[in-house]
Structure 1
Amino acid sequence: MMNVTNPEIIYYLVLGGSFCTTLMLGYIMQRTNFCTMGAISDFFLMGSLTRARQWVLAIAVSILGVGFLKYFQLIILDDSIYVAPKVLWLSVLLGSLMFGFGMVFASGCAGRNLMRIGSGSIRALVVVIFTGLFAQMTLRGIFAVIRVNTVDQVFFTLPSNQDLMSIFQQLLHFSPFVTLVMTILIGLSLILWVFVDKKFWTLENCLIGLFVGICIICFWLLVGYFGFLEEDPNTLEKAYLATNTNRLEMVSFVAPIAYLLDYLTLFSDASKKVTLGIVSIFGMMGGSFLAVNFHQTWRWQGFTSFSDLSRHLVGAALMGVGGVTALGCTFGQGLSGISTLSISSLIAITGFIGGAYVALKYLESKN
């Protein structure tokens, strides 16, 4: 916890830090075309692993960073939704399959479409709004009732947190130092796999993976250290300021879109506050906007046909429902969550890839 006693200062620090981090993230990702769906499609359609290696490098860097933050007790990882002992495996699997399928139909995940808004895509704007509406219905609406009473009822509970290091520590009685060493070995193993291919050895490939990984670490530190209060003077309980759940949240883009729509439609409600998820949305769009204007690549984009519109709407709906059901999108679970080595995140990544594969094969059969 940072040594600042004024919660309002911390609140605006977290908001400002979140905006600046995602502003840089949006700029770099726009310029380098870093994209989870792109990495999956490159592999299945062209056999290329270049963007997948960028993605894995970002994961490896973030795993190492979170391991050190946890070891030096700079963050309380137990307060994160990703490592809760209750593993909603069916929800995560079904939701991630839906999201993976949907992002192919919608020409990119929620984060990618936010960047496209910044570059002038009306199509992406429609996708994001539709994703947010279905996310709202899955968080607190009709789909929430269905979700809670069906797939959320299927789970198992571990005697420890669900991250791999906590499981090993519970079963094998490892010391915190040994678990740190194991985390380092996992991170280095992933980095080794990334650099086995000499074609990957370009400055851009290395920097984008490193940069995205560092951004994830910055978010953990920003929310888990700077934004943490051991005792909120208003509630006398511990709190994570500028979050929607008052827990240790990370970057994700489906639920925050729903929160933004909720905030805009209920603006006069004093209980509605701007959160780090909401400002991150504007950060991603703003970073992309700066990138395309600086390099003069701005252009308006729309739908090409009714079938194009309908396909994107179906994809957006699946992303909205799937992203909430899976407890995160390809950025929330696929990058932020996996940095904890969470079982749910491993399941989610499998689902994202599987859903995208099925969608790609479906579209390929139609052409």
Structure 2
Amino acid sequence: MDMAAWIERWGEPAVLAMGGLVLGLGFGFFGQRSKFCLRAAVIEFWHRRFGDKLAVWLLAFSTAVVAVQGMILLGWLDVSSARQLAARGSLSGALVGGLLFGLGMVMTRGCASRLLVLSANGNLRALLSGLIFAVTAQASLSGALAPWREAISSWRVVDGGPARDLLALIGGGPKVGLLFGLVWMAAALWFAVRSGWSFWKWVGGAATGLMVALAWWFSYQVMAHSFEPVQIQGMTFSGPSAEWLMRVLAESDKPWTFGLGLMPGVFLGSLAGALVGREWRLEGFGGAYTMPRYIVGAMLMGFGSMLAGGCAVGAGMTGGAIFAVTAWLTLVGMWVGGGIADRLIDRPQPRAEPMPTGGAAADMARAP
């Protein structure tokens, strides 16, 4: 049965939600098995270790870029009407939001997608952080924090179209995007070889990125075969998190979406990955895992994601794969913000001991 037949039988909302569920299962499973995590990659980068965490993220990101640009070249995908390219965007929101998100993901030890993956593995810290992330995202979208988001977003805006397309700005096209992705993939493979062979690092990292690319392809196919207006969309977690929160709190008559299917799919896929790897276990707060740190970090991520127009996957990988200017600016902000948080919070400089004076100095001078 082709896409048109599925749509005619079940309707666009059901088909989109089912597609999100299936791709979410793949993303959750492969993300869990490969330990895909932007925060871990950022930490390795700023610590100059360049190990398997960085290799997995680069492999996933480059796979998404290569797959998306390859499909565009083959005529299988057209992203010109995607929100990240066609709509007006905010440069200030992308940069500030990325910085705040980067700070928050280090404090919570995971980005939005990683928190969902860890929640399915029994991590109660991630579950609490994810709930606070969703509440803050909703408050930033249409609640108490919305005026702040709108004010920061208005500082510097960019029109949709070529002005928001990085490939158009540099005078390139899908071929340039594909070449760029292949260069990043070569770097990812080099880091992967250096850090040692691991089946899930290679296969899981590439498959995670492929799920991001397939999300673009799937929603485009629904749009192309639908008789109703359907917006092409990619994989993201900030908007769907807020949407699921509102559906849990109150009855909704809004139709199902790709994102609503994605969230439970990722949870179930990650749960399956944890069970396969025998990694499921309950984890709470204790030791260095202080609750205030996670709460503040989740709030920063929730506000930052809505300000930037997406999370580490939504704005970073999904938007980055189609070379949206704001997405790449957000990625830069996330890497810088993560580095700042690591430097100031996780790696504080040792305080210098005060110099002894008086008799204490004399005693030290006489000491053998």
Q: Please indicate the TM-score interval, normalised by the length of the shorter structure.
A: 0.7 to 0.9
Aligned CA distance change for structure 1 residues 87 and 341 (closer, same or farther; 3 Å): same
Residue 253 of structure 1 corresponds to which residue in structure 2? Answer: 237
For 2:161 and 2:13, the matched residues in 1 are separated by 34
For 1:159 and 1:133, the matched residues in 2 are separated by 32
Match of 1:309 among 284, 291, 305: 291
Percent identical pairs in the alignment equals: 22
Q: CA deviation at 1:39?
A: 0.8
Matched, 1:188 2:218: no
Aligned CA distance change for structure 1 residues 286 and 337 (closer, same or farther; 3 Å): same
Match of 2:300 among 300, 318, 326: 318
Do the aligned partners of 1:254 and 1:319 also contact (CA within 8 Å) in 2? no
For 1:200 and 1:161, the matched residues in 2 are separated by 39
Q: CA deviation at 1:127?
A: 0.7
Q: CA deviation at 1:57?
A: 2.2
SS class of match (1:302) = coil
Match of 1:209 among 205, 209, 225: 205
Q: CA deviation at 1:309?
A: 0.5
Give the AA of the match of 1:300. Answer: L
Do the aligned partners of 2:94 and 2:329 also contact (CA within 8 Å) in 1? yes
Do the aligned partners of 2:92 and 2:152 also contact (CA within 8 Å) in 1? no
Do the aligned partners of 2:117 and 2:266 also contact (CA within 8 Å) in 1? yes
Matched, 1:263 2:251: no
Give the AA of the match of 2:292. Answer: S
Q: Deviations over 1:204-255 (max 9, x none)?
A: 33222321221112111111113445541xxxxx22xxxxxxx222111122
Q: CA deviation at 1:184?
A: 2.5
SS class of match (1:77) = coil
Q: Root-mean-square deviation (CA), in Å?
A: 2.4
Q: CA deviation at 1:72?
A: 4.0
Q: CA deviation at 1:153?
A: 4.3
For 1:31 and 1:70, the matched residues in 2 are separated by 29
Q: CA deviation at 1:201?
A: 6.3
Do the aligned partners of 2:56 and 2:202 also contact (CA within 8 Å) in 1? yes
Residue 13 of structure 1 corresponds to which residue in structure 2? Answer: 15
Aligned residue pair count = 345
Residue 255 of structure 2 corresponds to which residue in structure 1? Answer: 273
Residue 32 of structure 2 corresponds to which residue in structure 1? Answer: 30
Q: TM-score, normalised by structure 2?
A: 0.86
For 2:260 and 2:21, the matched residues in 1 are separated by 9
Where in structure 1 do 4 or more consecutive aligned residues deviate above 4 Å? 227-230
Aligned CA distance change for structure 1 residues 358 and 306 (closer, same or farther; 3 Å): closer
Alignment of 1:162-173 (within 5 A): 162-168=164-170
Q: CA deviation at 1:296?
A: 2.9
Do the aligned partners of 1:11 and 1:227 also contact (CA within 8 Å) in 2? no
Q: TM-score, normalised by structure 1?
A: 0.86
For 1:10 and 1:343, the matched residues in 2 are separated by 30
Do the aligned partners of 1:100 and 1:355 also contact (CA within 8 Å) in 2? yes
For 2:177 and 2:152, the matched residues in 1 are separated by 35
Do the aligned partners of 2:136 and 2:303 also contact (CA within 8 Å) in 1? yes
SS class of match (2:348) = helix
Residue 336 of structure 1 corresponds to which residue in structure 2? Answer: 318
Give the stretch that moved more between structures: 211-220 or 272-281. 272-281
Q: CA deviation at 1:12?
A: 2.4
Q: Deviations over 1:272-321 (max 9, x none)?
A: 33322122111121112112223333221111269701000000100110
Bigger Rg over Cα? 2
Q: CA deviation at 1:7?
A: 7.1
Match of 2:129 among 127, 133, 142: 127
Matched, 1:282 2:286: no
Matched, 1:43 2:54: no
Alignment of 1:93-112 (within 5 A): 93-112=95-114
Q: Deviations over 1:76-134 (max 9, x none)?
A: 31221221363411001000100000011111111111111111122211111111111
Residue 199 of structure 1 corresponds to which residue in structure 2? Answer: 194
